[in-house]
Amino acid sequence: MSTLDIKGITISVARRLLDEKEVSSEELTQAYLDRISNIEGNIHSFVSVTADTAIEQAKAADNMISKGLQGTLTGIPMQLKDNMSTEGIPTTCSSKMLENFVPPYDAHVTAKLKDAGAVLLGKGNLDEFAMGSSTENSAMKVTHNPWDLEKVPGGSSGGPAAAVAASECVFSLGSDTGGSIRQPASLCGVVGMKPTYGLVSRFGLVAFASSLDQIGPITSDVEDSAVVLSHIAGHDQRDSTSLNVEVPDYTQGLDGDLTGLKVGVPIEYFAEGIDQGVETSVRDAIKILGDLGAEIIETSLPHSAYALAVYYIIAPSEASANLSRYDGVKYGYSNDDQGSMWQALENTRQIGFGPEVKRRIMLGTYALSSGYYDAYYLKAQKVRTIIRNEFKEAFQNFDVLAMPTAPTTAFDIGGKTDDPIQMYLNDIFTIPANIAGIPAISVSCGVIDGLPVGLQFMAGALQEKKLFRAAYAYQKATNWHTLRASI
């Protein structure tokens, strides 16, 4: 048992070890808890570690396995981003506002994964309320990139991406409003997938921008991503935007062959601020898709260039409404030391929220205020229509689009914290998928100066299988995804 090397193991490897009784879930879980104890002081990817309940869940999983009743995820140790509700376990959103909040119920995804027998190791760090691209906006801790501890892991799902990259869990879930799954996956060299808007229920996900938020898997490889999505997707009547569609088995049809697949390469995603090395890596990756039988065609999505501006109106507007609920009365942080009811409320929100959250609440309130509504919010929603239609049209000609996930590799901790706009530009290539509501995935396609590069695929709404097919074939033909940070 002491020789068990958990570094980089996937769900399928862990499944085989468990099913062949080479290791019990309790032993496997303990191995992850030990690894967390050993390296977490360098990575800081967990807001909380739930060792006791993890061991209990692992024992229950071992019981299922002994009876031959296991499923694909039974006994597999996982992490969840700390904006997904976990009954009886604090869910902080990495905010002082929810530091002591203990949800009375599970999020839909939490319940689904618990039912599947997965073992929860703890909750992953994030930028406060998922607002950010480096996880430096966390009120709890700064997460470090396992590939280089001086660098950020990306964000806002920086904890989940770093935890998977550092083998502190087999898989994790992130949430993606403008790139918060894919950008950190890219910066940490793991697989991050954002499903079609509405495919995964948002029930129990703490709301940031409700028309954009979507939960998805962060995993070691594409197969694991398909496995996890198959478990969490599906209709839920508690989310009014949940799609009532049949969920296919996303692991079917992953064969490595791309014959006949039409891949569009939009020129706008190779402009503006892209690092030369990133461009080269991604273009090399696209050539490999061609070698695998795909037809590669250059295309143009001119309005993608406006997606960032649309996002910075729509997301803060929705956030300003969603975050008005934090009043220090019903739950959450409360500063009731002095003054009137209004002063108590204003002090609560002054101390409870960090700078980026305040910035977005105020920006959103401004964009929604009378006199500015038409110029900002309505204008953004109209441009959103154009962007969405442009993608729809593109997917009449192409099965998938291929482009970089982020314009650069991981940057220095503290390097962009003083300049919000520089920070926002990290998401320039990921945001369009949220605006259009379409699925997208990031897979590792290179390493520059010791830091991973991400290749992104986008597909039409509910065409997840095409994404997985393309991404799987790329991984099968390359070995970037098997490289691990040395920690």
Partner 1 sequence: MSESDDITIEEVRHLALLTRINMTDHEIEEMRDQMSDILASIEVLSEVDTDGIEPTGHSVDVHSVMREDISSDSITLEDALANAPRQEDGFIRVRAVLEE
Catalytic residue IDs: 81, 156, 180
Under the binding rule (CB under 8 A), the answer on residue 375 touching partner 1 is yes
Least separation in angstroms between residue 237's CB and partner 1 is: 6
Query: Which residues does 252 contact at the CB level (< 8 Å), separation at least 6?
Result: 465
Under the binding rule (CB under 8 A), the answer on residue 359 touching partner 1 is yes
The tokens for 215 are 């939960």
Alpha-carbon span 487 to 168, nearest angstrom: 11
In the bound state with partner 1, the residue whose beta carbon lies nearer, of 132 and 328, is 328
Q: Candidates 23-31, 155-163, 373-381, 475-483: pick the segment binding partner 1 (CB under 8 A).
A: 373-381
In the numeric block, the tokens 């703890």 are attached to: 122
Under the binding rule (CB under 8 A), the answer on residue 365 touching partner 1 is yes
Under the binding rule (CB under 8 A), the answer on residue 362 touching partner 1 is yes
- The residue type at 420: P
Q: Candidates 29-37, 150-158, 185-193, 344-352: pick the segment binding partner 1 (CB under 8 A).
A: 344-352
Among 208, 353, 398, 411, binds partner 1 (CB under 8 A): 353
Among 22, 249, 272, 336, binds partner 1 (CB under 8 A): 336
Element (H, E) at 265: strand 262-266
Least separation in angstroms between residue 30's CB and partner 1 is: 31
Among 35, 112, 303, 465, binds partner 1 (CB under 8 A): 303
Least separation in angstroms between residue 422's CB and partner 1 is: 10
Contact pattern from residue 198 through residue 237 relative to partner 1, giving x for each residue in contact according to CB under 8 A and a dash for the rest: x------------x-------------------------x
Among 146, 328, 354, 452, binds partner 1 (CB under 8 A): 328
Strand partners, 175: 215
Under the binding rule (CB under 8 A), the answer on residue 20 touching partner 1 is no
Among 46, 203, 208, 376, binds partner 1 (CB under 8 A): 376
Give all strands (DSSP E) within 41-146, no chain letters.
46-49, 77-81, 119-124
CA dihedral sign, ordered 371, 374, 378, 379: negative
- Using alpha carbons, select from 262, 130, 175, 211 the residue that is nearest to residue 385: 211
Least separation in angstroms between residue 355's CB and partner 1 is: 8
171-210 exposure pattern, b = at least 16 Cβ within 10 A, e = fewer: bbbbbbbbbbbbbbbbbbbbbbbbbbbbbbbbbbbbbbbb
Q: 430 φ, ψ to 5°?
A: -100, -35
In the numeric block, the tokens 């799902």 are attached to: 157
The tokens for 174 are 């992130």
Alpha-carbon span 126 to 145, nearest angstrom: 13
Contact pattern from residue 381 through residue 410 relative to partner 1, giving x for each residue in contact according to CB under 8 A and a dash for the rest: xxxxxx-x----------------------
Under the binding rule (CB under 8 A), the answer on residue 416 touching partner 1 is no
- Site size toward partner 1, by CB under 8 A: 70
Residue 37 sits at the vertex; the CA angle it makes with 192 and 129, to the nearest 5 degrees, is: 45
Which residue intervals of 252-305 are DSSP H helices?
276-291
